[in-house]
Structure 1
Amino acid sequence: MMGRFSGKVALVTGASSGMGQATARMLADQGARVFTAQRGAAEHEALVADFTDPGAPEQVVNAVRKAAGQLDILINNAGVMREGTVEETTQDDWHLQLQVNLTAPFLLTRHAMPLLKQGRGAIVNVGSIEGLGSNPRHPAYCASKAGLHGLTRAVAVDHSPDGVRCNAVAPGWIDTGLNVDFIESMGDPEEFRRQIGRIHPVRRTGLPEEVARLICWLASDEASFVTGQIYTIDGGRTSQLSLP
């Protein structure tokens, strides 16, 4: 398995930490040449990109084309979330989340498609269980992730005949730096962890590496007959009905 991505070129957005970082490392460990794109510093061949800028996706794909001449795997992972009900959410907050979470993956996919066709490549979008349901005060985030799930299916329908597969993962509560910091900000972090654990049948939250393994499988030839699918990875959270 160590070399299953040998000869492949991958682009991972939002890879400075969390699921993106874990995915980029796993792809590289298994033989891929990995480019990352994000605002801050990152590992591998890092490109500086601000996906609130509509021109950033084309610039990133052009940089990969110039440096490598190919692109076989596109992982749309970069995302942003701002909390607020529909009454509290400003148009600026709405547009920010739609731009980064949905429009940027659309533009990256559009500009990368000629290269992906050449290599009969794979796209994996990082959606969310909030594209399937909703936590409180997340209207824009939920809308953007539901849209990304829909985009995933549409790209699969249109471009699977070209040899390009497109799937998505829908993670639940994952121990990214942001979530860990949130837990630590609670008055009793350990009790909060126990409460969070109880809403998961596996009795814990997930690790970035666990999501990365699923992403890498979907990007690999082992998933050659899989396209247009949304894979929930949430420790059973969305399968468990709440108690009265």
Structure 2
Amino acid sequence: MSRFAGKVALVTGASSGMGQATAAMLADGGARVFTAQRGASEHEPIIADFSDPAAPEAVLAEIAERAGQLDILINNAGVMREGTVEETSLDDWYTQLQVNLTAPFLLIREAMPLLRKGGGSIVNVGSIEGLGSNPRHPAYCASKAGLHGLTRAVAVDHGPEGVRCNAVAPGWIDTPLNVAFIESLGDPDRFRAEIGRIHPVRRTGAPEEVARFICWLASDDASFVTGQIYTIDGGRMAQLSLP
């Protein structure tokens, strides 16, 4: 499989979960893959903390110097802190908006000169919480809804330059963080059964299932697709609760 041969990609937050799976699939498809996160990765890592507004410019400058090219940008890095609006500090609010929304904006802005050279593709990792809300997630929901809006705006403004921009909105995915949360509960098996029931497919998702769709959006197979937000949630948002 070589659908990404000759392509250069950047995946943020690729040390685990959906980012790690996406980076691996892009590399398997022939892409040269850079990753940016606070820790290590299996590809060409760039150490970056996206709570720092200066990080996106530094990351893109390094890619420009090392590769001189960028064809695919996957904005996957994110953070979530719980609390109602009354419980959410201004620092927590700003941190979630910075990492989940402002950092993707800055990465897109800095990447655009490279992306427009060859007709690039951007995929933002949003969330079903940009469409609905779980309890005690006001800042996270606001940031993901904003990311969905940014996706459409970038698609409209830069489509004439050959740059596509789409987003995925995953539901409950078995990332290491979510798996650790389930295992920390008193009865993990009961929780898995309960959460499975809110999904028509009767299970939660795997990171690879989201990564496959991200890679399709990034590929030339999706050359006429832009400005879209794709829900990947096992049917959760389509299923009404029981009366």
Same-fold call, TM cutoff 0.5: yes
CA RMSD of aligned residues (A): 0.3
Matching residue of 2:8: 9
Aligned equivalents of 1:64, 1:209: Cα separation in 2: 26
Partner of 1:117: 116
1:35-74, aligned counterparts within 5 Å? 35-74=34-73
Structure 1 runs not aligned, ≥5 long = none
Structure 1 runs of 4+ aligned residues shifted over 2 Å read none
Q: Distance in 2 between matches of 1:38 and 1:44?
A: 12
Aligned to 2:226: 227
CA distance in 1, matches of 2:29, 2:160: 27
Match of 2:103 in 1: 104
- Tell me how far apart the structure 1 counterparts of residues 52 and 183 of structure 2 sit (CA, whole Å): 32
**Separation in 2, partners of 1:43, 1:165:** 27
| Whole-angstrom distance in 2 between the partners of 1:43 and 1:80 | 21
> Residue in 1 aligned with 2:184?
185
1:210-234, Cα deviation, whole Å (9 max, x unpaired): 0000000000000000000000000
Task: Encode CA deviations 1:135-170: one digit per residue, 9 max, x unaligned.
Answer: 000000000000000000000000000000000000
Spell out the pairing of 1:148-187 with structure 2 (5 A cutoff): 148-187=147-186
Q: State the SS of the aligned residue for 1:89.
A: coil
Find the residue that maps to 1:167 and give its secondary structure.
strand
Letter in 2 for 1:98: L
Q: What secondary structure, in the 3-state scheme, does the structure 1 residue paired with 2:168 have? A: strand
What is the DSSP-based 3-state SS (H/G/I as helix, E as strand, rest coil) of the residue aligned with 1:123?
A: strand
In 2, Cα distance between equivalents of 1:240 and 1:187 = 27
- C-alpha distance in 1, partners of 2:234/2:28? 26
Q: Distance in 2 between matches of 1:204 and 1:63?
A: 40
Kindly state the Cα deviation for residue 95 of structure 1 after the two structures are TM-superposed: 0.1
Q: Percent identity?
A: 83
Instruction: Classify the secondary structure of the residue corresponding to 1:168.
Output: strand
Question: What is the TM-score of this pair, normalised by structure 2?
Answer: 1.00
Amino acid of the residue matched to residue 44 of structure 1?
H
Q: Secondary structure at the match of 1:125?
A: strand
| Structure 1 CA distance for aligned equivalents of residues 119 and 197 of structure 2 | 42
Please tell me the residue identity of whatever aligns with 2:124: N
Q: Distance in 1 between matches of 2:67 and 2:43?
A: 13
> For residues 28 and 65 of structure 1, what CA distance do their matches in structure 2 show?
19
| Residues in 2 aligned to 1:223 and 1:161: alpha-carbon distance in whole angstroms | 16
Match of 1:26 in 2: 25
Q: Distance in 2 between matches of 1:122 and 1:167?
A: 8
Superposition pairs of residues 136-155 of structure 1, within 5 angstroms: 136-155=135-154
What is the total number of aligned residue pairs between the two structures?
243
- Counterpart amino acid of 2:78? G
Q: Distance in 2 between matches of 1:38 and 1:69?
A: 20
SS in structure 1 of the partner of residue 35 of structure 2? strand
Q: Which runs of 5+ in 2 are unaligned?
A: none
Once the two structures are superposed, residues 52-96 of structure 1 have per-residue CA deviations (whole angstroms, 9 ceiling, x without a partner) of 110000000010110001000000000000000000000000000
Three-state SS of the structure 2 residue aligned to 1:160 is helix
- Aligned to 1:169, the other structure's residue is in SS state strand
* CA–CA distance in structure 2, aligned partners of residues 89 and 154 of structure 1: 28
Report the alpha carbon displacement of residue 42 of structure 1 after superposing the two structures with TM.
Answer: 1.0
AA aligned to 1:234 is D
